[in-house]
Structure 1
């Protein structure tokens, strides 16, 4: 493996239209809808503007740093951000606990994830999980990006339809230009033409992030901290690992878990719920839209820089986030997922093994169910494996991963 400095020196040759556009579009996706979830949760909980901005700073700035570090360390498109369903979970928790107590739950979650990563357990489990079941989970968890894109046609047929047509035509007629970027530009032009940009009152003042001391509350840890840890591992990391596998990478599973734990520990002191490896944005940067496989990590550097900048100027940037039409963001995200979804579907259902388990993994992930605060991707893996153990036990070939593989995974923890 090349060193970080070597990969950084080689990065300029991979910075092109494709890596730039997917990096920018991943950042646009991550800085719009997900940011609004945090803003809404902070307002509902009665947090001050300073506390809300500190939360945004923590997850975006440190999430960006995680992505930049992992991309340069492993030369893979591993994006850092935060858990989107985790933001929904903790927004509800803020209704019952103080910010310091919730931050104590964040800290506990980070410690749990860190310990599991250092133990090497997550890497062993992911290596054992049947690939078709993992790929089916990816399709089920991310198919909503495709369906949301189609649903958006009802609300804004000109914007969404124009963006999709621009994507298809540019893919066919001018393949050297990133079709995703062209679709976004066309969508923006149409949105401006139809007056869909919601330019409200702009905030121009900067607010500094606040450092606070987490307070451990057993109830908060049980109701928020443990479910958050499971979300980070069972949703975000699992999706990212599956996406990278689908694109032909060998992801550093244990290292991804360790860095997500460290991110959760650091952000807790700023009132942020967790900076970790991000599933949907990894899917965008790892897709064929990013160009050659070897250089796709460069898109993460673009994304990380934009994420970090968004965190630093969150108070001002939020005004621009609110202005973007949600239908345009949904459309771009859906188009960016096309390659990942097709590849994952092929991997999940082309072979003959684990087909029933993969089907159950698919429908469980699509259902969006949540038990004990843990979302459907985690239960999709559990359900798919259980079904295959009952009906397809002959497909399991225990021991296919030898000690060498386990040792390689453990060696990747040295982050």
Structure 2
């Protein structure tokens, strides 16, 4: 009778390690691309990746230990994709860091003042999904563009991705990442590699603030993080019978975002995909033991933080475009889901399409990026066609 217990003793530990590895490998390329797009140097981007790894790990360890539920945190992948589409704003990297601090403050304020959460929830879902889809489009086109320029380097990555998509879907993006590392290694062997700084380090940045970065970067980043990460994260855990401690989770992720911002971290939030991995029966047949999987994932992220700088250094020595290939592949599934959510319902489709087109244009007006104007345009069209943008808020 003891054998089944022995068999499952280490099951949640293994599930937590796998969840963290999948979460890291599937989207770290998006984080790097996003931070560099808003002005970070390679050193600053490495520091930002280190910061989000550490802050989300500490948050996971705290929340899982206190509440004994499989609650995973993650960096904001859609938020990083937003940074890619937004590009550098007035004030460059210091202004971007200032925007990250504003996002952290808004998330913390959400915990203290529920009205903010109600405002996000009141945005029509098709418009929120359309904004996300428009933001993702440009980076999802990168595999095609880079393949046209470097078919010999990109083809092996695409082959591995397609094969794993067919036979082991969950491993498709991590497999593409490993294939990219092999391609980079072969490239460096043949072309020589520069001196690489592999030691973890933190590059502090003194923030600055201007209205363009706050309106064009901070507000869309906050909206995307809340609507595309935190709200789905609550829903995922609910499907497995777990209730997220909302106010404390927002407090932890808000403080974590604030703590990591000056080191280059853009935002942390509730996880959705990796949360499903640690909250499902595959993590452990006994629901009361599944928190161990998330807790293990937190420790795993601390280990990954220690090697993140070395990984960024290797990626930085690679040919231009390869990291964007992995980022684009990682976001294709999210793009598909966002497009479906934006256009599935006939009512409100026009507003969603307008939102998508404006967000995908990547143009800016008055120094403010397209994501903000996409949200404005979508809400205006929705209001004109379907009545005013009504909100139910708590006071």
TM-score by length of 2: 0.69
Once the 2 structures are TM-superposed, how far is the Cα of residue 140 of structure 1 from its aligned partner? 1.1
Match of 1:120 in 2: 114
- 1:334/1:309 CA distance change after superposition, 3 Å: same
Q: Does 1:163 align with 2:157?
A: yes
> What's 1:151 paired with?
145
For residues 31 and 303 of structure 1, what CA distance do their matches in structure 2 show? 19
Is 1:23 the counterpart of 2:23? The answer is: yes
Give TM-score scaled by structure 1 length.
0.66
Q: Distance in 2 between matches of 1:175 and 1:317?
A: 25
For 1:6, the equivalent position in structure 2 comes to: none
1:88, CA displacement in angstroms? 4.0
After superposition, residues 307-322 of structure 1 pair within 5 angstroms as 308-309=302-303, 318-322=312-316
Correspondence list, 1:268-307, <5 A: 271-272=262-263, 275-277=266-268
Per-residue deviation, residues 81-110 of structure 1 (Å, max 9, x unmatched)? 696539944862649xxxxxx988876664
CA distance in 2: counterparts of 1:168 and 1:299, whole angstroms:
29
With over 3 angstroms needed to count, the CA separation of the structure-2 counterparts of 1:186 and 1:53, relative to structure 1, is closer
Describe how 1:74-223 pairs up with structure 2 within 5 A.
75=70, 78-80=73-75, 84=80, 85=83, 88-89=88-89, 92=92, 94=94, 110-172=104-166, 174-175=167-168, 178-195=171-188, 199-203=193-197, 220=209
Partner residue in 2 for 1:360: 354
What is the deviation of 1:341? 2.0
Q: 1:256 to 1:266 in 2, by over 3 A?
A: same
Structure 1 residue runs without a partner (length 5+): 1-8, 44-48, 96-101, 411-415
Q: Distance in 1 between matches of 2:364 and 2:250?
A: 22
**2:371 partner SS:** helix
Contact 1:75 1:294 in 2 (8 A): no
Return the alpha-carbon distance in structure 2 between the equivalents of residues 194 and 52 of structure 1.
23
Unaligned runs of 5+ in 2: 1-9, 284-290
Report the Cα distance in structure 1 between the residues aligned to 2:273 and 2:224, rounded to whole angstroms.
16
Q: Say whether the 8 Å CA contact 2:359–2:371 is kept in structure 1.
A: yes
Instruction: Give the CA deviation at 1:350.
Output: 2.2
- Note the C-alpha offset of 1:354: 0.6
CA contact (8 A) 2:256 2:268 kept: no
Q: Measure, in 2, the Cα distance between the counterparts of 1:274 and 1:378.
A: 21
Corresponding position of 1:387: 381
Q: Is the 8 A contact 1:103 1:273 kept in 2?
A: yes
What is the aligned length?
367
Q: Deviations over 1:116-137 (max 9, x none)?
A: 4421122212222222222222
In structure 2, the partner of 1:347 is 341
Alignment of 1:32-47 (within 5 A): 32-34=32-34, 36=36, 41=40
Q: Does the 8 Å CA contact 2:90/2:367 hold for their aligned counterparts?
A: no
How far off its partner does 1:388 sit?
1.3
Which of residues 325, 331, 348 in structure 1 aligns to 2:325?
Answer: 331
Structure 2: how far apart are the matches of 1:71 and 1:197? 46
**Aligned mates of 2:237, 2:300 — CA distance in 1:** 26
Query: How far apart, in 2, do the equivalents of 1:104 and 1:284 lie?
Result: 29
- The answer on whether the counterparts of 1:77 and 1:300 sit within 8 Å (CA) in structure 2 is yes
Displacement, 1:316? Answer: 5.4
CA distance in 2, matches of 1:139, 1:252: 29
After superposition, what is the alpha-carbon deviation per residue over 1:1-50, rounded to whole angstroms, capped at 9, x for unaligned?
xxxxxxxx984363486x35532313531564345458x6469xxxxx8x
Q: 1:179 to 1:221 in 2, by over 3 A?
A: closer
Partner Cα distance (2:20, 2:304) in 1: 17
Distance (Å, rounded) in 2 between the aligned partners of 1:104 and 1:185? 34
Change (3 A) 1:232 1:20: closer
